[in-house]
C-alpha cells in the first residue's frame, strides 16, 4: 500500500483536463472555476453562450485556462461533439462533471410527454452518453473521474410537482453504482454529489429573500448553501485523495434531510437559545 506525503497539496488538478456541463452559472460555474484554480484545463459546456463566456472570462482573469462550447447536452450529437472538443483542444480528457439539468415538472396525472423527455434526456440519458464518450479517452490516460450533480430531491426526499426531476436524479444513483463496478478495473471512479438548497440564480427565481429565510429556518446549520460548497466537494472527488472512493453519493445539504420533521429543527433552535450558542 502506498502512502501520500503529508505535505502533498490537497486536491490539485495540475495537468488534468476537465469537462463541466451546465457551467455557465450557479453550481456548474463554481465547479469550473474551482477546478481551474486547482490547475485543471476546463471545457465549459453550457446551453447559453453568454453565461459560458462569463465563466471562461472569470477563469482566464484569475490565471486559469478554459474554453467554451455552447451546446444543448440533451442531444446525443452534442454530447459527442463537446467531448471531442476537449480532446481536440488539449489532447484528452481526465474528468467529466455532468452538472447540467432540467427542472421541468408538473403533476404525475397530467404529465407532459415532451417535458418528461427533456428532463430525462438532460438529467439522466446524458449520464450514459457522456460516460460512453469519455471512457475510451480515460482508458488511454490510465484512468479518470466520472462525476455527477444529483440532488436530495428523489434519492432522499420528495417535493410535489417534481416527479420528472426526482425520477431522473434517483436514476443517477443506480447508474453510478453499476458504472462504478464496470469501470473499477480501468481506474475510473464514478461518484455523485447530492445538493440540498443552494443559492443560485434558479433558486432566486423560486423564492425571494423572505422565502429563502423561511427555508433556512428548517436547515439545521441555519443557512442556504453556496455553489462553492458543492464545487469543493467535487474537487475532492476529482482529486487523487479520492482515488479509493467509487459508486458513492455525497449529500451536501446543511443537515436538512436529517430531521424526521421540521419540529425537531425548531426544538434545536430552542436548545441553542437556552445555552447561548449560535
Q: Is residue 61 part of a domain?
A: yes
And the C-alpha cell for 134?
Answer: 469519455
Q: Is residue 7 part of a domain?
A: no
Q: Is residue 6 part of a domain?
A: no
Q: Is residue 188 part of a domain?
A: yes
Q: Say if pTM beats, i.e. exceeds, 0.85.
A: yes
Decide if 232 is catalytic. no
| CATH code for position 151 | 3.40.50.720
Q: Which of 66, 17, 27 is nearest to 194 (CA)?
A: 27
> How many domains would you assign to the chain?
1
Question: Of the listed 164, 165, 197, 218, which one is catalytic?
Answer: 165
Spell out the per-residue pLDDT of the chain, length 278, in tens.
Answer: 344 444 456 789 999 999 999 999 999 999 999 999 999 999 999 999 999 999 999 999 999 999 999 999 999 999 999 999 999 999 999 999 999 999 998 899 999 999 999 999 999 999 999 999 999 999 999 999 999 999 999 999 998 999 999 999 999 999 999 999 999 999 999 999 999 999 987 777 677 888 888 889 889 999 999 999 999 999 999 999 999 999 999 999 999 999 887 777 776 665 555 555 54
Residue 159 belongs to domain spanning:
17-275
Q: Is residue 8 part of a domain?
A: no
Distances (CA, A) of 106 to 121, 124, 212: 17, 18, 22
Q: Which of 140, 155, 147 is nearest to 100 (CA)?
A: 147
Q: Is residue 196 part of a domain?
A: yes
Q: Is residue 178 part of a domain?
A: yes
Q: Is residue 135 part of a domain?
A: yes
Amino acid at each position: 500500500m502506498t502512502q501520500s506525503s503529508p505535505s502533498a497539496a490537497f486536491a490539485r488538478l495540475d495537468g488534468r483536463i476537465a469537462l463541466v456541463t451546465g457551467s455557465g452559472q450557479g453550481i456548474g460555474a463554481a465547479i469550473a472555476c474551482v477546478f481551474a484554480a486547482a490547475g485543471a484545463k476546463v471545457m465549459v459546456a453550457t446551453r447559453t453562450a453568454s453565461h459560458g463566456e462569463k465563466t471562461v472570462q472569470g477563469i482566464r482573469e484569475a490565471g486559469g485556462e478554459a474554453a467554451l462550447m455552447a451546446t444543448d447536452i440533451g442531444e446525443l450529437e452534442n454530447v459527442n461533439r463537446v467531448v471531442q472538443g476537449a480532446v481536440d483542444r488539449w489532447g484528452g480528457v481526465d474528468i467529466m462533471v455532468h452538472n447540467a439539468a432540467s427542472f421541468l415538472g408538473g403533476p404525475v396525472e397530467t404529465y407532459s410527454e415532451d417535458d418528461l423527455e427533456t428532463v430525462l434526456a438532460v438529467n439522466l440519458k446524458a449520464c450514459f452518453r457522456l460516460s460512453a464518450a469519455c471512457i475510451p479517452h480515460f482508458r488511454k490516460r490510465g484512468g479518470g473521474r466520472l462525476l455527477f450533480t444529483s440532488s436530495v430531491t428523489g434519492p432522499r426526499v420528495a417535493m410535489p410537482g417534481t416527479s420528472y426531476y426526482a425520477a431522473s436524479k434517483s436514476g443517477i444513483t443506480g447508474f453510478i453504482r453499476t458504472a462504478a463496478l464496470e469501470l473499477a478495473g480501468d481506474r475510473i471512479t464514478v461518484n455523485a454529489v447530492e445538493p440540498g438548497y443552494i443559492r443560485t440564480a434558479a433558486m432566486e427565481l423560486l423564492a425571494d429573500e423572505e422565502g429563502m429565510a423561511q427555508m433556512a429556518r428548517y436547515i439545521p446549520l441555519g443557512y442556504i448553501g453556496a455553489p462553492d460548497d458543492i464545487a469543493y466537494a467535487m474537487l475532492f472527488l476529482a482529486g487523487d485523495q479520492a482515488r479509493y472512493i467509487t459508486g458513492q453519493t455525497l449529500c451536501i445539504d446543511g443537515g436538512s434531510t436529517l430531521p424526521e420533521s421540521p419540529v425537531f429543527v425548531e426544538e434545536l433552535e430552542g436548545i441553542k437559545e437556552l445555552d447561548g450558542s449560535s
